[in-house]
Chain A
Amino acid sequence: MATRRSARPAATRGGEAFSALSISNEVHAAKAAATARFLQPRPVGAFSAREAMNPAAEPDPAENIVAIGVGEKMSKGISTGMPAVKIFVRVKFADSEISDADRIPAEINGVPVDVEQIGTVRALKAPVMPNPRAKIRPARPGSSVGFLSPNFRMAGTFGAVAKKGQKLFVLSNNHVLADENRLPIGSPIVQPGPLDGGKPTDGIAKLTAFVTLNPAAPNKVDAAIAQVNSAALVNRSILFIGPPQGTKRATIDMTVQKFGRTTSFRVGRVVSIDTDVRVAYDIGELLFQDQIVIRGLNGEQFSAAGDSGSLILERSTNAAVGLLFAGSSTHTIGNHIADVLTALGVKLA
């Protein structure tokens, strides 16, 4: 049998006392008894989270108790150093509002009970990621996009909506919209890309301009634009991330994010802003100068094949810093966004 004395530690000095708290088997046994008495599973349909949010919830323990554990007895917010059965309720009612039948006992099996209000406990819902490979109208940056070819099916990422005067464009890479210099101006661009089921009837834009990829000299960007067939066909808000907030120069150690066709949402850290890198294309190995290098965070790659064209944004501000176009099994390469926009003569919408 537990007693207050046996449960009380030698010293009670606020937080220090709690760290020295010894929870005896008697306290755990009392907690088990309280759980059996007050916290039994309820039939499906008997509980409504919406109703439980109502502050006029009843003091009936069957309705009001949401959790039971062991911990330290508090008295008017002050640590007592005394182990207790902790009973967590949606609403802590004044003693005068509780009938004798609904009153939670001050002790269970001789162990003190401490009642604490924590509100309704609900399962936390993971954010729902949009499917970038689906047909999306209006088409949004972050989604699958590509060109039609009689020989193969491909897909890359719609990076951003760009503008020049009143005209709106899909911004992505040359290799995503222009097949590495090979497509004629005016070629249709479809969303989703053909690899994701895009058909000729899924056209949203026509190839307007690209920066020529040069196998014989250093390159700065892999970029192209396609004018949209109708302004109503696109929306500037990037899937999951939202609209870009202007542009900014990347800096070493900046935390960045992107949403792409293959790996969707990822976060990374800039490790370099001026790397010269050789990248393998169908037309040969191309040298790019002064590129951004990014390493993925949270143990994940920042990108994979199909993410090319994604806009890279500073995580804290949503300012665009780069255009993703290449990578290895561990690192991602991006063009500086200012170089991309200058080369194409456009701004972000």
Chain B
Amino acid sequence: MATEREIRSLKKRVSGLLMKNRAVSAVGVERDEKGHYVLTVHLVDDAPDLPAELEGHAVRYVRRGRYEKQ
């Protein structure tokens, strides 16, 4: 189980690459349903070519739509 610091470090390394995918609206560190820190990728649409793991850590994908100024 990874620590928050480890997942934050992973996020800094991979966020730029993931955000180049137009189906990705955000990348951050969240807790999953079990309370574990996990790299969380927000999707606007289905994105079939995204990895299930990065650097040995599972990646969580969530569909949260497009973010707009409010």
Contacts and interface: CB of A to CB of B under 8 A. Distances in A.
A145 interface: no
Contact of B68 (A293, A324, A327): A327
Contacts of A277: 25-28, 42, 67
Contacts of A303: 70
Interface residues of A, number: 37
A175 B70 CA distance: 9
> Residue among A271, A275, A293, A330 with the most chain B CB within 10 A?
A275
B69 A280 contact: yes
Contacts of A326: 67-70
Nearest to A310: B70
B54 interface: no
B30 A271 contact: yes
A120 B15 CA distance: 61
A335 interface: no
A80 interface: no
Contacts of B31: 252-253, 271
A164 to B, nearest CB: 26
Chain A binding surface SS class = strand
Interface string A327-341: 111111100000000
Interface in B7-23: 8, 11, 15, 19
A306 B68 contact: no
B57 interface: no
A276 B65 contact: no
Given A271-B30, A281-B69, A328-B67, A276 B8 contact: no
A304 B70 contact: yes
A274 B67 contact: no
Given A276-B15, A277-B42, A278-B25, A293 B70 contact: no
A101 B68 CA distance: 72
B29 interface: yes
A280 B68 contact: yes
B11 A274 contact: yes
A274 B8 contact: yes
Nearest to B11: A274
Contacts of B29: 252, 272-275
Contacts of B40: 272, 275
Nearest to B35: A253
Contacts of A304: 70
Contacts of A314: none
Contacts of A281: 69
Nearest to A287: B19
Interface in B22-70: 24-31, 40, 42, 64-70
A279 interface: yes
B69 A222 contact: yes
A305 B68 CA distance: 9
Contacts of A222: 69
Given A277-B42, A330-B64, A293 B69 contact: no
Interface in A300-349: 303-308, 324-333
30 contacts: A173-B69, A252-B29, A272-B30, A272-B40, A274-B11, A275-B28, A276-B19, A276-B26, A277-B42, A277-B67, A279-B67, A279-B69, A280-B66, A280-B67, A280-B68, A281-B69, A287-B19, A293-B30, A308-B69, A324-B70, A325-B70, A326-B67, A327-B67, A328-B66, A328-B68, A329-B64, A330-B64, A330-B65, A331-B42, A331-B67
A-B complex: 10 closest residue pairs judged by Cβ atoms? A275-B28, A277-B26, A272-B28, A328-B65, A308-B70, A280-B68, A276-B15, A279-B67, A272-B30, A305-B70
Interface of B: 4, 8, 11, 15, 19, 24-31, 40, 42, 64-70
Given A277-B67, A326-B70, A328-B64, 15 more contacts: A173-B69, A274-B29, A276-B26, A276-B27, A277-B25, A277-B28, A277-B42, A280-B68, A291-B28, A303-B70, A305-B70, A329-B64, A330-B64, A331-B64, A332-B70
